[in-house]
Amino acid sequence: MTGKRHFKLFWMILALVLLSFPLFSSLDRVEQPKISPALRYYMCFRADQPMVIDGKLSEESWKKIYWSEDFVEIEGKSKAKPRYKTRVKLLWDDDYFYVGAELEEPHVWATLKERDSIIYLDNDFEVFVDPDGDTHNYYELEINALDTVWDLLLVKPYRDGGPAIHSWDIQGLKTAVYVDGTLNNPGDKDKGWSVEIAIPWNVLREAATFKKKPEPGELWRMNFSRVEYRTLVENGTYVKARDPKTGQNLAEDNWTWAPQGVINIHYPEMWGYVQFTATAAGKAKEYCEEDPEAEVKWALRRIYYRERNFFAEKGSFALTLEELNLAREKDLKIKGWNYPPVIQITDSLFEAIYANKRGEKWHLRQDGLIWKTGLGEK
Q: What is the pLDDT of residues 41-82, one digit of tens each?
A: 999 999 999 999 999 999 999 999 999 999 999 999 989 999
Which letter does DSSP use for residue 90 in this model? E
CB 88 within 8 A of CB 223: no
Quick check: 17 pLDDT over 70? no
Task: Write the single-letter amino acid at 155.
Answer: V
Q: Are the beta carbons of 172 and 205 closer than 8 angstroms? A: no
CATH topology of domain 23-280: Immunoglobulin-like (2.60.40)
% of the chain surpassing 70 pLDDT: 90
Cβ proximity of 288 and 219 under 8 Å: yes
Query: What's the half-sphere exposure (Cβ side, CA atoms, 13 Å) at 74?
Result: 18
Dump pLDDT digits (tens) for 93-122: 999 999 999 999 999 999 999 999 999 999
Count the neighbouring beta carbons within 10 Å of the beta carbon of residue 202.
14
Shortest CA distance to 150 belongs to which of 113, 177, 179?
113
**pLDDT for 9 beyond 70:** no
Angle at 216 between CA 212 and CA 220, to 5 degrees: 65
Q: Where are the domains of the chain?
A: 23-280, 294-373
Measured distance CA(125)–CA(340) in Å, rounded: 42
Grade residue 283 by pLDDT with cuts at 50, 70 and 90. very high
The model's pTM:
0.91
pLDDT at 136 over 60: yes
Q: Cβ contacts of residue 72 below 8 Å, gap of 6+?
A: 79, 81, 82, 255, 256, 259
The Cα–Cα gap between 155 and 365 comes to 15
* Euclidean distance between CA atoms 266 and 158, whole angstroms: 7
- Kindly give the pairing relationship between strand 219-228 and strand 253-256: antiparallel
Q: Is the pLDDT of residue 306 over 80?
A: yes
Q: Distance of CA 152 to CAs 20, 248, 331, 352, Å?
A: 23, 28, 36, 30
Residue 237's nearest CA partner among 194, 187, 198 is: 187
Residue 217 gets the label, from left (phi > 0), alpha (psi -120 to 50) or beta, of left
How many Å apart are CA 345 and CA 260, to the nearest integer?
Answer: 29
Percentage of the chain modeled with pLDDT above 90: 86
Q: Is the pLDDT of residue 349 over 60?
A: yes
Mean pLDDT of 211-239: 93
Q: Which amino acid is at 72?
A: V
Q: Is the pLDDT of residue 269 over 60?
A: yes
Report phi then psi at 365, rounded to 5: -120, 180
- Measured CA to CA, the distance from residue 111 to residue 237 in angstroms comes to 11
Quote the pLDDT of residue 323.
98
Label each residue of 95-128 as H, E or C: CEEEEEEEEECCCCCCCCCCCCCCHHHCCEEEEE
Contact 343, 352 (CB under 8 A): yes
186 within 8 A of 174, measured Cβ to Cβ: no
What 157-162 contacts at long range (C-beta under 8 Å, 24+ apart), as own/partner pairs, is 157/266, 157/267, 157/268, 157/368, 158/266, 159/26, 159/28, 159/30, 159/264, 159/266, 159/267, 159/368, 160/26, 160/135, 160/136, 160/367, 160/368, 161/18, 161/21, 161/25, 161/26, 161/367
| C-alpha separations of 361 from 68, 194, 220, 250, 373 in Å | 33, 43, 20, 46, 5
- Identify the sign of the CA torsion 323, 327, 332, 335: positive
